[in-house]
A and B are shown apart, each in its own frame.
Chain A
Amino acid sequence: SQQGEEDPQALSIQEGENATMNCSYKTSINNLQWYRQNSGRGLVHLILIRSNEREKHSGRLRVTLDTSKKSSSLLITASRAADTASYFCATSSGTYKYIFGTGTRLKVLA
């Protein structure tokens, strides 16, 4: 069954604003990853956070993980038009299998 639920499903913001998207999952995990998908393209890995980590940064990205609530959030600061894409969380509770969320479609208006 689908493990990751993301919200919002769609988000539209102005360039320069911050974008926050959330992911909830159902079972214990080893790690959680965030991916970006531009229209008509494959997914690109953004950041991985392990189950024993609470926060991680990479450039303009900040990811938090709350295992007690089984949720994660991705914050993109100072958004740009090039950030327009769909963002997916993916959880792993064992090797070889990743469950992807439903995705958040982000639109950044110039």
Chain B
Amino acid sequence: DTAVSQTPKYLVTQMGNDKSIKCEQNLGHDTMYWYKQDSKKFLKIMFSYNNKELIINETVPNRFSPKSPDKAHLNLHINSLELGDSAVYFCASSGTGNAYEQYFGPGTRLTVT
């Protein structure tokens, strides 16, 4: 069974479009995250959610809106896509606390043309 799954795996779209990426975890974790990995492999946290509540928003543009319908799901909606949004987006989950490992999804490669 896949612990953290994301859909779609690849997403190719044009500038100005709106798109969503879905994430689900079956680990029973309370905390979920979205990360962006750029072309240089630098991984940066975007959002953290705990029990469906937004905890961390790392100065991400308002065009990015995460939504957590329940503790097992954290979706990412992106409005008015820009070329600079092209990256690999990873969802992750973990237990709640200071010393829990994160489990990552396989990533969604977003290409904006």
Q: Which residues of A pack against B, CB within 8 Å?
A: 2, 30-31, 33, 35, 37, 40-45, 48, 50, 86, 88, 90, 92, 94-100, 102-103, 105
Assuming the A-B contacts A86-B41, A100-B44, are A33 and B101 also in contact, with contact meaning beta carbons closer than 8 angstroms in the complex?
yes
Are A42 and B4 in touch, CB under 8 angstroms?
A: yes
Are A45 and B103 in touch, CB under 8 angstroms?
A: yes
What's the minimum C-beta distance from A90 to chain B, rounded to whole angstroms? Answer: 8
Are A92 and B90 in touch, CB under 8 angstroms?
A: no
Are A99 and B45 in touch, CB under 8 angstroms?
A: yes
B31, CB-defined interface residue at 8 Å: yes
Q: Chain A's interface: helix, strand, loop or mixed, by majority?
A: strand
CA distance A37 to B104 in the complex (A): 10
Residues of B85-107 contacting chain A, CB below 8 A = 90, 92, 96-99, 101-107
* Contacting residues, chain B, for A90 (C-beta < 8 A): 102
Are B99 and A48 in touch, CB under 8 angstroms?
A: yes
Assign chain B's interface to a size class.
20 to 34
What's the minimum C-beta distance from A85 to chain B, rounded to whole angstroms? Answer: 11
B27, CB-defined interface residue at 8 Å: no
8 A–B pairs (Cβ distance < 8 Å), ordered by A: A30-B99, A35-B102, A42-B107, A45-B101, A88-B43, A94-B98, A100-B35, A100-B44
* Contacting residues, chain B, for A30 (C-beta < 8 A): 98-99
Are A48 and B42 in touch, CB under 8 angstroms?
A: no
CA distance A30 to B43 in the complex (A): 20
Which of B12-20, B48-56, B61-69, B71-79 contacts its partner?
A: B48-56
- Smallest CB-CB separation from A30: which chain B residue? B98
Assuming the A-B contacts A42-B4, A42-B104, A42-B107, are A98 and B99 also in contact, with contact meaning beta carbons closer than 8 angstroms in the complex?
no
